[in-house]
Amino acid sequence: MPAKKSTRPAARELLFGDLWEYDPSPESAPAFIEPRYGLFINGRFIAPKTRKYFDSISPRNEEKLAEIALAGAADVDAAYQAAATAFISWRKLPGAERGKYLFRIARLLQDRAREFAVAETLDGGKPITESRDFDLPMAAAHFFYHAGWADKLDHLAPGRALVPLGAIGQVIPWNFPLLMLAWKIAPALATGNTVVLKPAETTSITALKFASILLDAGLPPGVVNIVTGAAETGAAVVNHPLAAKIAFTGSTAVGKIIRHSLAGSAKRLTLELGGKAANIVFDDAPLDQAVEGIVNGIFFNQGHVCCAGARLLVQENVARDLTARLKRRLATLRVGDPLDKNTDIGAINSKQQLAKIQQLVQSGIDEGAEIHQPACKLPAKGFYFPPTLFSGVAQSHRIATEEIFGPVLSILTFRTPEEAIEKANNTPFGLSAGVWTDKGSKILMMASKLKAGVVWANTYHKFDPSSPFGGYKQSGFGREGGKHGLLDYAELV
């Protein structure tokens, strides 16, 4: 006999569509952005010797925010000379005194958090809620954490003493401009080093605004120097003979160039590079919780995150259910003005990055993956891209192997934990991973076998200054944060 059909009514989905629209909730605080910024060298703002400036364009609406000084080799040399001179006295300063400066910087960041959050959103395109609730608190937390370590370095490696390295060259990316600055500067100063920092050319404003905080904190001249520019400026920072160490966060391609250029030199090097993280969902996972973690893992900061969960590996028997839940969740995400507090996904950082995302998404379509994008209206001006899912993705597809650095998720399936591990590790990157299951033993087993520097369990994108962060393979080497990050800025004797 044929099986009886269920008389239970099918579950109905409550869809409001566009019956009710969110009222706009724009952030109104001023960002106090100067029309022109010079270089910050030896405790003051100066004009570049090149006499050249470039425009900082807001990805929100393509409007000019400010003119930024273009540093040449002579400017970089002046910054290193200032850092080397300041190092002589800064390294001798008692750790408790260095810690006081770091505490002041942290408190000043807190005092001006709203202003800096607006500037970060205008310059980089991320939603104001993320700048306000994540970037600024975490940047201040890193200065607080390292301020606490400054007078306790003798306890970092029992039986060994820490000796600062000297003038440190630091190059940071455009996805978390202020937070990456804090990750780099705080441990360097806590351990007695001085700094020459180059921010990304598309997001230099908050770094230059940060220089005013250094002045208000009374930091001695030359301890931190900020030079701005593009690739040529970065190369001058990396290759300067006075640099004792280079700390770089950015793309794997540029990281390889830097490592090659420093080969054979005495300079120390740490690299935090790209990633293609696997976010692994087992059939015993809490699926609604996993959906929220998946959305946060890939759409946070428009996917401009090196440790983003860009590859979703789902156990085969729950793949259809989870994909349907994800599609429903995507329909609720709001793409639009990053200054609006209702916005979930803001602007893509630059026109060039938007073009790269579009190219890789087209490759996924061309290679036969199934694309899903929710209906959403994108602003007429600015650089925007809708949240995107690809199902039916093969391991050989470009969208499964290349770092997209955008709001694009590739969904693959697996049957056994062994297959999940093999697929997750089948990448030249090794920065992060996520595991979703209700079995603690399975979490520990997966974490021990995944080739990733960070493995999150039943969560994603959880950071703390006391927890070291870094990768394996082509995701770089060295750690930032925690005791391990401090050790990378000192010599043990």
- The helix/strand/coil state of 479 is coil
Active-site annotation holder among 27, 130, 272, 480? 272
Q: Which residue in this structure is represented by tokens 């990448």?
A: 427
Centroid of chain to Cα 108: 22
Catalytic status, residue 130: no
Contact 224, 186 (CB under 8 A): no
Which residues lie closer than 8 Å to 76 by C-beta, 6 or more apart? 196, 227, 233, 236, 237, 240
Contact 434, 277 (CB under 8 A): yes
Beta bridge partners of 378: none
Which residues lie closer than 8 Å to 287 by C-beta, 6 or more apart? 281, 318, 321, 322, 325
Q: How many CB atoms lie within 10 A of CB 60?
A: 24
Instruction: Give dist(CA 137, CA 132) in Å, integer.
Output: 7
State the DSSP string of 36-73: EE-EEETTEEE--TT--EEEEE-TTTS-EEEEEE---H
Q: Which residue in this structure is represented by tokens 């059909």?
A: 5
Active-site annotation holder among 306, 307, 403, 480? 306
Instruction: Give dist(CA 450, CA 443) in Å, integer.
Output: 10
Which residues lie closer than 8 Å to 464 by C-beta, 6 or more apart? 141, 481
Instruction: Give dist(CA 104, CA 109) in Å, integer.
Output: 9
Instruction: Give dist(CA 244, CA 223) in Å, integer.
Output: 14
Can you read off the two tokens belonging to residue 244? Answer: 């004792």
How many degrees, rounded to 5, is the angle at CA 373 between CA 367 and CA 374? 165
Contact 414, 315 (CB under 8 A): yes
Catalytic status, residue 307: no
Per-residue exposure over 145-154, b if at least 16 CB sit within 10 Å of its own CB, e if not: bbbebbbebe
Which residues lie closer than 8 Å to 107 by C-beta, 6 or more apart? 140
How many degrees, rounded to 5, is the angle at CA 361 between CA 355 and CA 366? 120
Centroid of chain to Cα 158: 32
Instruction: Give dist(CA 106, CA 83) in Å, integer.
Output: 22
Which positions are catalytic?
272, 306
